[in-house]
Amino acid sequence: MSLAISDPAVVINNEPIGIAPGTVKYTEGFGEANIRAQSTGNGNVTQIYSRDVTMNFSTVKISLYNDIKSINLARAWKALLNENSITVTGTDPATGESLTRTFLSAAVINDYEVEFASDSMFELEFKSLPAV
């Protein structure tokens, strides 16, 4: 039996980061694909497959609570432009098997909004080279 990964570790620029639970998301960076039909006559078609390489970037999304340390870290990552590196690691608690993805040349692309409230967090969205 395997269990869902619900508490991944996130490391940004070699520093472990405290994140809001359940908020880590990523894409592999394979990009989008197009499939078009090509007629071969008599109602038959074949597929023409193509990749939109302009979308070959990974996305990493995390949410942080609105404490001063997290706010300052987000500001520093934004200021670094695309010179951040992110590693996300998850471990199956039942089997001990782990999954690691590394995202290089990562940039914070959203203009994140920090809310001052007792139970709030803010989301950061990074774009990077495809995950390795």
d(CA 106, CA 12): 10
Strands 32-41 and 58-65: unpaired
d(CA 128, CA 59): 6
pTM: 0.90
In percent, how much of the chain has pLDDT > 90? 91
> What is the average pLDDT across 84-91?
97
Please give the pLDDT value at position 63.
98
Give the chain's count of helices (H) and strands (E): 1, 9
d(CA 86, CA 116): 26
User: Band of the pLDDT at 73, cuts 50, 70, 90?
Assistant: very high
User: Band of the pLDDT at 117, cuts 50, 70, 90?
Assistant: very high
Q: Is the pLDDT of residue 19 over 90?
A: yes
> What is the average pLDDT across 73-84?
98
Please give the pLDDT value at position 38.
95
Reduced to 3 states (helix: H, G, I; strand: E, B; else coil), residue 53 is helix
